[in-house]
Amino acid sequence: MKLVILDRDGTINHERDDYIKSADEWVPLPGALEAIARLNHAGWHVVVATNQSGIGRGLFDMVALNAMHARMNQLLARHGGRVEAVFFCPHTPEDQCTCRKPLPGLFKMIGQRFGVSLAGVPMVGDLPRDVLAAQSVGCEPHLVRTGQAASMSETELIDLRQQVSDLTIHPDLSSFADFLILRDRRAHGEDSPVATHMGELT
């Protein structure tokens, strides 16, 4: 089973300083939905692992969160894509749970749900806590320079690489998808060109 784990806010959709609280506020990043669809078409099962402390803070409820994800899947369907499942942590840092990234709880739930080892499973996010959580369960860590990572300095990136030695950094989710698909094709001896998110062939 080809499984890939994606962060949500800042990776798939725009972030907000005051939290995304409704489906109307859930706005995809350019090219992100197309990237997920390309991964699906290449045989990848896409799941999301996301911290949603807005629930614990009383900013929105489960009805609103479900509406956000219904909108995400409706928009994805237009591109022929889908997310298999969304795993979320509703807690605040003060709750001292085990599922809030960078802790590994969400990832362990994913492994249990799908009955797979997470060793080598690609995971991508826009925050150090995403890649630290990925590393803690043996996932292959990837960072996209969208969301909060867009403002990370070179010094911060160097520090993160020292903590996560096998980290791969991409401009955005489209570039990550292209990287994964092309690497998979090459691993299977397929040398045919791959259409990337810019429409060119590589």
Question: Within a 13 Å sphere around the CA of 92, how many CA atoms are in the beta-carbon half?
Answer: 7
- Choose, from 7, 130, 172, 178, the residue flagged as catalytic: 7
What's the rounded Cα separation, in Å, for the pair 163 and 2? 26
pLDDT at residue number 192: 53
pLDDT at residue number 39: 98
pLDDT at residue number 196: 47
Contact 30, 72 (CB under 8 A): no
- Choose, from 9, 126, 130, 172, the residue flagged as catalytic: 9
pLDDT at residue number 188: 86
pLDDT at residue number 193: 52
For 37, the enclosing helix (H) or strand (E) is helix 32-41
Cα angle, residue 112 at apex, residues 169 and 140 outer, rounded to 5°: 15
pLDDT at residue number 198: 38
Which residue from 11, 83, 2, 87 is spatially nearest to 44, judged by alpha carbons? Answer: 2
Beta bridge partners of 3: 45
CB atoms inside a 10 Å sphere around CB 151: 8
Active site residue 9: yes
What's the rounded Cα separation, in Å, for the pair 169 and 88? 24
pLDDT at residue number 190: 77
Q: Say how many Å lie between the first and final Cα of the chain, rounded.
A: 26
pLDDT at residue number 201: 30
**Which residue ranges in the chain fall short of pLDDT 50?**
195-202
Active site residue 7: yes
CATH number of 3-187: 3.40.50.1000
Domains of the chain: which residue ranges? 3-187
